[in-house]
Structure 1
Amino acid sequence: MRSNGRRRVMLAGSAVAAAGLLLTACSSNGSSSSSSSDTGSSSPSASLSAECQPYANYMGHDGTTVTMFGSILSPESDSLEKSWADFSKCTGITIQYEGTNEFESQLPVRVQGGQAPDLAIIPQPGLLARLAASAKPAPQAVSDNVDKYWAAGWKGYATVDGKFYGAPMSANMKSFVWYSPKMFSDKGYQVPSTWDDMMKLSDTIANNGDGIKPWCGGIGSGTATGWPATDWLEEIVMRNSGPDVYDQWVNHDVKFDSPQIKDAMGILEKWMKNPNYVNGGYGDVSSIATTTFQDAGLPILKGQCYMLQQASFYAAQWPDGTKVGPDGDVWAFYLPQMNDKYGVPVEGGGEFLTAFADRPEVQAVQTYLSTPEWATSRVKVASGWVSANNGVPADAYTSPIDQLSAKYLTDPKATFRFDASDLMPAAVGAGEEWSQFTSWFAGTTSTDAMLKAIDAAWPTS
């Protein structure tokens, strides 16, 4: 996510005075708005309670409502709303959040129909680029925060034709395998350190005679069904062909119907389409297409499968009471390298808060959610949520999985790449690729036909 010459709001005398200045700062021309991390000559209004002083620079919008739309569902959305509860209470801005499994298809419909939300949490830069003509450039204060608190690459993911549209909200570590430490211990299995070791372990589990499959999986996600499978392919491309090929693939300089991607599909077929390996707890290979990603790992808790490849944010999907940790009910290990030529491949994703309105209260919310103060609040209420905002104190992460995620996301030896399908044009990465993968797992299309169809969906301009 990514000089801090922010315009300072001089708070003198009362919250009313602060309100007028913030209204000026948050004008519709995209000029600087204040952030809660401003320092210097500003001083909190004497009329504010101690708990509301951190939000002094966002006052003046009492009684307003800001709508927000995203793909984050309960229980994760519950912690999202808790993270801004104090801000909302103190500023009087009601943030009306709506989450849906049909976000990727519904957001364009709403935007094109004149019913756009004030703010949208967009996890695909490709979708953001598609809707940029209808979006509002981020205020200068948001841009300044990203420059100060995120690594440089993050800002580019939300920049279209030279205009910056939104601060990253989260960063997630996708290169994880969830497993049961107890099941491993009971059988004497070791966490694999290489891809070959992981495949040998899968063979051992498949042949141990107890009928428990090594892997479980699901790619169901409403109108976004198919996205987990794109992650599996991306992880393989990074490890098998390296970051340069990965980048060329994102730009369609390397086609889906190319030797490198066909080779990766062959590896994926031997892994997650292997009837001896999947789909523990649910059925045959085709059940992956109909099992939701939220439910995909639950058989691990029932002793019906050993492993699930999923991101760090899957921590929020385990039922209440599940202990996550090295000695817990579930834990995670790094999805191993195939060789040591490409460093430590790490795939990640993120979400970008993009505005479709530029009212002062909307810009106030967008600015606050770009600060380390908000990110720290979110970290504290949400296990499994990690930010690449370097203003978040390391000790704010208290859950083991968040600490493990941060370790890989900040590893200087890591070869980090953003989720490829999220970077591709929306018609491809959030469209044809998802549907083709769903058909591929359901057994209704071949690999060759699938790859050709995805290439054909690539926009010509």
Structure 2
Amino acid sequence: MSAPQGGTAAGRRPRRLRTLTVLASCLVLLAAAVVFAVRALGQEPTVTLLANWTGTDERNFRQAVIAPFQRKYHIHVDYQGSSAESQVLGADVEAGTPPDVVVLTGPGELADYAGQGQLKPLDGLVPAAGFGASWSTPLNGHVYWFPLKADLKSIVWYPAGTGERQRTEAAHRPGQWCVGMGSGATSGWPGTDWIEDILLQKYGPAVYQRWARGELSWRSRQVRSAWTTWGRLVAGAGGNSGLVRRALKTPYQDAAKPVTAQPRGCTLEHQASFIRSQESAWQRVDGRYEHSARLIPGATATGAWEVSGDLVALLHDTPHAKTLIRYLASAGAQRAWNAKESGFSVDPQAQPAPADAGPAWHRSLARTLLDERAVHCFDASDAMPPSVRDAFAEATIEYLAGPRRLDALLASLDTLSHAPDLTWLPSVCDHVP
């Protein structure tokens, strides 16, 4: 219906409103055009960053690390968090649209990308003395990654108040281990952590490193023993079908839920240090930890720890991306991340002040990661070429479901490990006694 022509002053108000509305719309469109033009001209620089942090970890990362960077440098960080980041990165690289900066847990995967010429050297961007060789292993004379977040993996968690004798007895009862193998596209990795740590604790860093470098057969006595020891611990000598089904159907983040039941459904969990800072059962039962060697049958190593890390790498060496790399490698950024209890920094200069160091368990784990007397060996499967890593994770699931297939699984892993054009890291331990 049209408004009447002419009329009283009241009848003329709608025309004024329409005029103001049109003017406001034009201003909005003009502002949007200006923003677009500013971005197009590079006056509002953006760095794209892909990592695997979601939920609480993502919030902590944004608040403690990214927000201060954006305020200081006026560079926007376009962050994408994905639990399937390897698949996302692979698709982006294939499409020719990789992020500027990526954070991956696998140095083996990063070494593969470096071999393809996808990564840019970080020489001069990262403090030379900031991180040990096991954390930023040089390739062809260059450093291609460094850790922003580190974790310990040679750990067994138990509820506060569980005595040493109770823990020892629980360790010999397969049903008392909290086990969850599910993790979406990366299911099976909790099993690889178990096998790696058993090999490290039973046979020491030298054997572990030979295996992680592709020099020790999967069918060797030591590696085979690590698999069978794990099987007996979590499923019993005969492979308890009920325990196996529970382990295969349970997501890793839910593995410890039975520890809060009455009576407890499980008592011990072999899991990395990050599980304590998540919203998990271990927070509700005031989880404590001890070195896994005390509960692994036949353990002989002393002071050997399996570790993991979220490693930062550069794919586009633009000035703004380099600025972000320098910032993430700085003591200030490392300290801010450490203080959030989402992980640990292994830069000795980045430790928080005692008053800000957090609870006792966090301080203790931080000291262990920096202990120069200890041997820190990077997660072996993460250090392996991606094809071997993925097959290893799948094999742990198949082994639990059918222990009699072990010899065939190990033979298959041996064959895969000898495929041509695989990149194996020269070392995974900071020092081998």
TM-score past 0.5 threshold:
yes
Other structure's SS at 1:398 match: coil
Aligned to 2:204: 242
Other structure's SS at 1:353 match: strand
Q: Deviations over 1:318-355 (max 9, x none)?
A: 349935xxxx5322222124568532221101121111
Select 1:255's aligned residue among 204, 210, 217: 217
Other structure's SS at 1:413 match: coil
Residue 252 to residue 148, structure 1, CA distance change in 2 (3 Å) = closer
Please tell me whether the aligned partners of residues 215 and 278 of structure 1 are also in contact (alpha carbons under 8 angstroms).
no
Other structure's SS at 1:238 match: helix
Matched, 1:389 2:347: yes
Matched letter for residue 272 of structure 1: V
405-414 or 357-366: bigger deviation: 405-414
Please tell me whether the aligned partners of residues 180 and 247 of structure 2 are also in contact (alpha carbons under 8 angstroms).
yes
Matched letter for residue 118 of structure 2: A
Which runs of 5 or more residues in structure 1 are unaligned?
1-60, 193-197, 207-212
Please tell me whether the aligned partners of residues 216 and 305 of structure 1 are also in contact (alpha carbons under 8 angstroms).
yes
Aligned to 1:455: 414
Aligned to 1:202: 171
Please tell me whether the aligned partners of residues 141 and 367 of structure 1 are also in contact (alpha carbons under 8 angstroms).
no
Select 1:169's aligned residue among 148, 152, 159: 148
Q: Deviations over 1:224-255 (max 9, x none)?
A: 11111111001111111111111111122211
Matched, 1:223 2:216: no
Shift of 1:384: 4.2
Matched letter for residue 149 of structure 2: S
Separation in 2, partners of 1:114, 1:330: 45
Residue 120 to residue 240, structure 1, CA distance change in 2 (3 Å) = same
352-361 or 132-141: bigger deviation: 132-141
Matched letter for residue 65 of structure 1: T
Residue 378 to residue 278, structure 1, CA distance change in 2 (3 Å) = farther
Residue 295 to residue 103, structure 1, CA distance change in 2 (3 Å) = same
Aligned to 2:119: 136
Matched letter for residue 94 of structure 2: Q
Query: After the TM superposition, which residues 268-283 of structure 1 pair with which residues of structure 2 at under 5 Å, given as runs?
Result: 268-274=230-236
Residue 249 to residue 438, structure 1, CA distance change in 2 (3 Å) = same
333-342 or 75-84: bigger deviation: 333-342
Matched letter for residue 71 of structure 2: K
Please tell me whether the aligned partners of residues 148 and 329 of structure 2 are also in contact (alpha carbons under 8 angstroms).
yes
The structure where helix makes up a greater share of residues is: 2
Other structure's SS at 1:247 match: helix
Residue 252 to residue 190, structure 1, CA distance change in 2 (3 Å) = same
Separation in 1, partners of 2:201, 2:272: 17
Please tell me whether the aligned partners of residues 203 and 300 of structure 2 are also in contact (alpha carbons under 8 angstroms).
no
Separation in 2, partners of 1:171, 1:126: 16
Shift of 1:370: 0.3
Other structure's SS at 1:150 match: coil
Matched letter for residue 334 of structure 1: H
Larger Rg: 1 or 2?
Answer: 2
Query: After the TM superposition, which residues 411-426 of structure 1 pair with which residues of structure 2 at under 5 Å, given as runs?
Result: 411-426=371-386
Residue 433 to residue 367, structure 1, CA distance change in 2 (3 Å) = same
Q: Deviations over 1:155-175 (max 9, x none)?
A: 31xx33322212211221111
Other structure's SS at 1:450 match: helix
Please tell me whether the aligned partners of residues 234 and 419 of structure 1 are also in contact (alpha carbons under 8 angstroms).
yes
Please tell me whether the aligned partners of residues 70 and 77 of structure 2 are also in contact (alpha carbons under 8 angstroms).
yes
Shift of 1:398: 1.2
